């Protein structure tokens, strides 16, 4: 074998050996367990903190509202749709059953016109949508800047919830 080929082979062998050693040192142990990725990354993704509690946990304490809501137009709306993420609220209530909830953990009660308008503002894309759960009724739509903006007699500005109780609209 010519001299230069021998040298080349030895040079390649050294590089490959170095690569294998470095791969052993640098590669995380879970890499390649189930594909070209670090398997432990799945566990790390699963460890993230939750915010939304899920409707089941609301019913535990607020069953009265659940019953009240159950035959209205908002029956299939879960509590957190309007009141926001509730996990910390639920966890505190679970832990200190008889204590008053601190203000920071109280959930918001959206009562502005714009809060209702998110779903009920008149829109061409919304007009045909029907719900088979509530006898094929269409979603009620209004122009929030026109629909009974002020009281007819007193001329005081009205909020939606003054006429439509959100749990039984």
Partner 1 sequence: MSLSSSTMKQHKSNISRRDFFKAGTFIVGGIAVTSVFTPFNGILFASEAPKGKGKWYGIGIDISKCIGCGKCANACKLENNVPQEPFYFRSWVEQYTIKNDGSILVESPNGGIDGFMQSVPDEEIFKSFFVPKMCNHCAKSPCVQVCPVGATFETDDGIVLVDETYCIGCRYCVQACPYGCRYIHPEKGTVDKCSLCIHRLEKGLQPACFEICPTEARILGDLNDPDSNINSFLKNHTCMVVKPHLNTGSKLFYNALSPEVR
Closer of 8 and 40 to partner 1 (Cβ): 40
37 contacts partner 1 (rule: CB under 8 A): yes
- Binding map of partner 1 across residues 53-92, x = CB under 8 A, - = no contact: -xx--------------------xxx-xx--xx-------
Using CB under 8 A, pick the residue from 23, 51, 70, 137 that binds partner 1. Answer: 51
- Burial class of residue 166, CB neighbours in 10 A (0-12, 13-18, 19+): middle
Closer of 13 and 129 to partner 1 (Cβ): 129
Angstrom distance (rounded) from CA 38 to CA 29:
8
**Window of 50-58, 102-110, 146-154, 157-165 that interacts with partner 1 by CB under 8 A:** 50-58
Using CB under 8 A, pick the residue from 10, 23, 123, 137 that binds partner 1. Answer: 123
Angstrom distance (rounded) from CA 159 to CA 111:
7
CB of 45 to partner 1, least distance (A): 5
Q: Strand, helix or coil at 135? A: coil
Q: Give backbone dihedrals phi and psi of 157, rounded to 5 degrees, phi first.
A: -60, 135
Closer of 146 and 152 to partner 1 (Cβ): 146
Q: Quote the distance between the C-alpha of residue 71 and its chain's center.
A: 25
| Other beta carbons within 10 Å of 84 | 14
Angstrom distance (rounded) from CA 31 to CA 59:
43
117 contacts partner 1 (rule: CB under 8 A): yes
The answer to whether the CB of 141 falls within 8 A of the CB of 122 is yes
155 contacts partner 1 (rule: CB under 8 A): no
What DSSP character marks residue 105?
G
Contact residues for partner 1 (CB under 8 A)?
Answer: 31, 34-38, 41-42, 44-52, 54-55, 76-78, 80-81, 84-85, 114, 117-119, 121-126, 129, 131, 139
């Amino acid at each position: 074998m010519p001299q230069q080929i021998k040298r080349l082979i030895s040079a390649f062998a050294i590089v490959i050996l170095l690569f294998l050693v470095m791969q052993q040192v640098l590669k995380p142990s879970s890499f390649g367990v189930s594909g070209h990725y670090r398997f432990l990354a799945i566990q790390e993704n699963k460890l993230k903190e939750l915010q939304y509690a899920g409707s089941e946990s609301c019913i535990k304490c607020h069953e009265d509202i659940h019953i009240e809501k159950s035959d209205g137009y908002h029956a299939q709306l879960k509590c957190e749709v309007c009141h926001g993420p509730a996990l910390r609220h639920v966890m505190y209530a679970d832990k200190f059953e008889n204590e008053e909830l601190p203000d920071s953990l109280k959930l918001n009660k959206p009562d502005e016109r714009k809060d209702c308008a998110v779903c009920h503002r008149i829109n061409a894309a919304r007009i045909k949508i029907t719900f088979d759960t509530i006898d094929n009724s269409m979603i009620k739509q209004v122009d929030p800047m026109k629909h009974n903006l002020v009281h007819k007699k007193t001329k005081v500005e009205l909020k939606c919830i003054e006429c439509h109780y959100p749990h039984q609209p």
